[in-house]
Structure 1
Amino acid sequence: MTIDQEKEQSNSISNKKNTTWKTIWENIQILVIAIILAVVIRTFIAEPRYIPSESMYPTLATGDRLVVEKVSYYFHSPQPGDIIVFEPPMQLQLQGYQRNQAFIKRIIAKGGDSVTVKDGKVYVNNQLLNENYILESPHYNLESVEVPEGYLFVMGDNRNNSNDSHVWGFLPEKNVIGHAIFRFFPWQRIGSILSTII
């Protein structure tokens, strides 16, 4: 092998090493960008959630997977009818629930509204709610309560099997993580979760 051939072979090996390291470096950069994007999207835009209980049945079933969006509440406050995911309020944390143990319920009333449950019916501001989404009428009564400003009154659609505001009180709006909008699993139930105007 001549000196020129040895140089050419050495350059070829060096070029292959440079190409390999360049490819590895590009892949690392892509991976870092993907991780940053995933964190930003999950923190500020949307995240997946899993339904662990039957408290929202029949609207949502145990095992359903949802997309919870976070953008709309930057522009307007949560509204009655919205199905929301939230961090447990202090009342629940004192009972042993962890702050990261998210709940999902439907907003029934917001600050300034009054809520009453009587004879199996829910009233907001003395107006009967038309609740065609619940499993069955509540088997309990609740004396009229007024929701403080900055708080929400939330209930599960499975009224008699739901640990909600009729048990532990009002939910601070600041605890809201996002708005459940879309079910992506199971496949036969895939689709939008529309808020019911109540």
Structure 2
Amino acid sequence: MTPVLLVLLVLLASALGGCAVTAARRTLRVVEVHGESMEPGLRSGDRVLVRRLRPGRPGRSRGRVRRGDVVVISRVGPGEGFALDGGTNLVIKRAAAVAGDPIPPGFEALGETRVPPGRLFVLGDNPSRSTDSRHWGLLPETRITGVVLRRLHG
């Protein structure tokens, strides 16, 4: 292999590696959990890998959040939920029902029998320590900024 070809291959590999890192940063992020609302599955101090979601249009399902997913939500209001990622305005909850799903039993006071398109019903895994759809009602799907892929170890 000629030195020129070797240099070109090294430059190409570096460029591809840089593109891969940039793409990963656009689609993934690591956040640290603060608070008790998702215990015992996620505890304060845990770090989670999150797949970012592109902003969607209201009323149009993005098809990326499924019932049971743990989701990252832009903060609903002052002092509600808990912060992630060093105090940013995000909360983490479980998608208990998504568009088209029946409203979970006991929550009929929301005035709906099914979750309407573009909405989401979220709950914390630790109900006694969670502020969620029981307080906020149905959330716009556009508030979802990401889906937790997994908890990271040490």
TM-score by length of 1: 0.53
2:39 to 47, 57, 60: 57
In 1, are the aligned partners of 2:55 and 2:142 still within 8 Å (CA)?
no
Task: Indicate the residue corresponding to 1:80 in structure 2.
Answer: 67
CA shift digits 1:65-124 (9 cap, x unpaired): 1110136999733110000111123xx1xx3569x4111000011123332444xxxxxx
| Cα distance, 1:182–1:72 mapped onto 2, change above 3 Å | farther
Q: Report the secondary structure of 1:54's partner residue.
A: coil
Identity %: 33
Higher relative contact order, structure no. (Cα contacts within 8 Å, ≥ 6 residues apart) = 2
Q: Aligned partners of 2:90, 2:23: CA distance in 1, in Å?
A: 19
- Extract unaligned runs of 5+ from structure 1: 1-29, 119-141, 188-198
Specify the code of the residue in structure 1 equivalent to 2:30. Answer: P
List 4+ stretches of structure 1 deviating above 4 A.
36-40, 71-75
TM-score by length of 2: 0.67
Q: CA RMSD in A?
A: 3.2
Task: Indicate the residue corresponding to 1:143 in structure 2.
Answer: 108
Counterparts of 1:113-124 in structure 2 under 5 Å?
A: 113-118=101-106
Task: Indicate the residue corresponding to 2:137 in structure 1.
Answer: 169
Task: Indicate the residue corresponding to 2:147 in structure 1.
Answer: 179
Larger % of helix: which? Answer: 1
2:98 to 110, 113, 120: 110
What is the aligned residue count? 126
- Extract unaligned runs of 5+ from structure 2: 1-13, 57-61
Which one has the largest radius of gyration? 1
